[in-house]
Amino acid sequence: MITLSVKELAGFCGGRYAAGSGRYKIKSVVTDSRKPVKGGAFVALIGENFDGHAYVGAAMKAGAACCVVSDREGWEHGKYGQKAILVEDTQKALGDIAAGYVQKYFPAMRRIAVTGSVGKTTTKELVHAVIASRFKAEKTPLSHNNEIGLPMTTLSLPEDTEIFVAEMGMRGFGQISYLENIVHPEAAVITTIGNAHLELLGSRENILRAKMEVCKGGARLPEGKAFRLIVNGDNDLLKNKAELRRIAEGYGCRNIEIITFGMDPSSTYRAAEAVSGEYGINYLLICPGGNYHVDLPIPGEHNIYNSLAAIAAGVLFGIDPASAVEAMREYANVTGGENSVRQRKVVLAGGKLTVIDDAYNAGPESMPASLKVLAGITADRHIAALADMVELGPDSPKFHYEVGRTAAKYCDRLFTVGEKAKEYVKAWKDSKPSAAKAEAFGDTESAFKSIKNYVNEELNAGRSVAILVKGSHIMHMGNISKLLEDAYR
C-alpha cells in the first residue's frame, strides 16, 4: 500500500481527527488486530457477533499508527487516544477509504467486475488468466468478493497494476452498489441469474436488479464512452436486453453496450457443437472476429459458459479470441486442469477412487452441473454426498427435491447431510423406489462412516468409485472430502 497520512485517510472517509495527529503516516489498513498492525490504520468493524472497538487498545499497543472508530462518546472522551479517527460507520468508512485510495493513486488502472448467481469465481479466474496474458493484471483472491475482502484487496494492489478483475458477491440490495463504488468498473460480467438469495430478495427479478447495481459506474464514464455489460444470453432474465437497459438507466447508466454469450444463435459469443466430457470441453466459437476451435482441459458444461465470458472480456481489452483460448489452456495446465477454483478432483486408492471435492458452496443451478461432471467420470459406481442448500426461501423444498431427482438420474448411491437434504432422499425414493439406497444423516461424521463402508465394499469387489461431495459452505462438507483423502491416500 502507498503510504498515506492520517489527514489523507480521514479525508477519504470524512472522518474527524485530533489536532496535530494528521501528520502521522499509515502504511496499511487492518481490520483484524491478530494480524500485523504496526504502522497501519486499524478499522474497528462491527458485526453480528463482534465489535472491533474492543480490540482498539490491543491494536494500538501492537504499534498501529491510528484507529478508525464510530464510538462518538468514547472518541470525545479520549478513550481511543490521540490517533483515533471518528466516522459515522466504520464499514462504510472502509469502503470509502478504499474508493478514495484507488481513485487517487490508480487513475489510469482499468477495471472489470464479475458477478452472478453461479460461476462468478471460476469466471473471474478465467477472465484474469486471459487479461494477465497481456497486461499486469490483479484479481480479488478467493472469498474476497465481499464488503471486507474487496476493499482490503484494492488497498493492497501493486502500484504497477494495469487492470483489476474484481469479483463481487452479494446477498441483498445495496451490496453490489457498495462494492461497485470502490472499484468504479468500466465493464462487467453477469454469469447468470439463479435462485441463490431468494430468501432475502424474494424473487429472481429482484436478484437481477441487485446484480445490475454493477452498472451504476456507467454514469461516471466520460461522455460518449459506453459501459460494456457481458451477460449470459441463454439465461431467461439476462437475454432480455430491453429490460437490462431499463434497469441500467434507472441506475443512471444511459450509455450501455450489452454483449451476450451462450449457445443461443443470437449470442454475440456463441458455442456451437459443444461437447463436455471427463477431460474437458470442446466447442466451435462463433463470434464477430470469426470462428475458432476451443478445446480446454476444464470439465463441466458450465465451464463452456465461463470460458465464453472470459473470451468476451478479453476482446474488450484487445485480446483476440485465439489468444484468450491459449491463455485459458495455459491456466488450466498450471492449475491442474480439472481442478477449478471451487472444485478439486482427487484420485485415491491407487486410481480406484475419484473424489470431486466441491464443498465450497451449492445452489439449485450448481448442484445439477456438478452431478453432470460426476457422471462424466470413468468409474464403475457413481455416488454423491450432498448437503443442504441455504437461503432459498419458501421454495427451498422444491429446489432440494429437484436436485434429488437429478441425483437419482446420475448416481448409484446417495448420502445426505442436513434437514433440508432429506428432500433429496424423498425425490430419490420417488424416482428409484426399488433401486439403490439413499441415506440421510445429521452430520458429516456419521455420513462418512456409511460412505466408507460402501466404498470399501465396492473396492474389495474390484469396482472403481467416483464420489461428488457438495453442499452449502455452512454445512462443512469439506470434512468428508478430508476424511476420504486421509483414509484412501
* C-alpha grid cell, residue 416: 445426505
Q: Which three cell numbers stand for residue 235?
A: 439465461
The enclosing H or E element of 451 equals helix 444-460
Can you tell me the distance from the alpha carbon of 418 to that of 403, in angstroms, rounded to the nearest whole number?
14
Q: What is the 3-state secondary structure (H, E, C) of 173-197?
A: CCHHHHHHHHHCCCEEEECCCCCCC
Burial class, 286, CB count within 10 angstroms (exposed 0-12 / middle 13-18 / buried 19+): middle
- DSSP line for 139-164: EPPTT--STTHHHHHHTT--TT--EE
Contacts of 451 (CB under 8 A, 6+ apart): 383, 385, 415, 467, 480, 484
89 vs 70: CA distance, rounded Å: 6
What's the CA gap between 405 and 411, in Å, rounded?
A: 10
Q: How far is Cα 237 from Cα 258, in angstroms, rounded to an integer?
A: 13
What's residue 338's pLDDT?
A: 47
Cα→Cα distances 248→90, 166, 222, 241, Å: 29, 19, 17, 10
Main-chain dihedrals φ then ψ at residue 37, nearest 5 degrees: -120, -5
227 close to 215: Cβ distance less than 8 angstroms: yes
Domains of the chain: 4-88 (3.40.1390.10), 106-335 (3.40.1190.10), 344-488 (3.90.190.20)
Residue type, 409: K
Q: How far is CA 64 from CA 36, 81, 448, in A?
A: 9, 12, 46
- For 319, the grid coordinates are 485480446
CA distance 227 to 270: 21
Q: What is the mean pLDDT of each successive set of 10 residues along the chain, which is 489 residues long?
A: 93 91 90 90 92 94 94 93 94 96 96 93 95 97 88 96 96 93 96 83 92 94 94 96 97 96 96 86 93 90 94 97 95 65 78 90 86 90 95 90 94 95 94 82 95 96 95 91 93
What is the DSSP secondary-structure string of 5-20?
A: EHHHHHHHHT-EE-TT
Helix H or strand E encompassing 294: strand 290-296
What is the pLDDT at residue 88?
Answer: 96
Contacts of 334 (CB under 8 A, 6+ apart): none
Nearest in space to 232 (alpha carbons), one of 277, 279, 270, 199: 270
Angle at 472 between CA 471 and CA 477, to 5 degrees: 50
Sheet containing 227-232: order of strands = 137-139, 163-167, 110-115, 187-190, 227-232, 256-262, 269-277, 280-287, 290-296
**Which of 406, 383, 386 lies closest to 458 in space, CA to CA?**
383
Task: Return all residues near 131 (Cβ < 8 A) that are at least 6 apart.
Answer: 112, 137, 163, 165, 313, 314, 317, 319
Cell numbers describing residue 389: 442448500
Query: Which residues are CB-neighbours of 418 under 8 A, at least 6 positions away?
Result: 387, 388, 442, 471, 475
Q: Which three cell numbers stand for residue 260?
A: 451476450
State the Cα–Cα distance between residues 53 and 44, nearest whole angstrom. Answer: 5
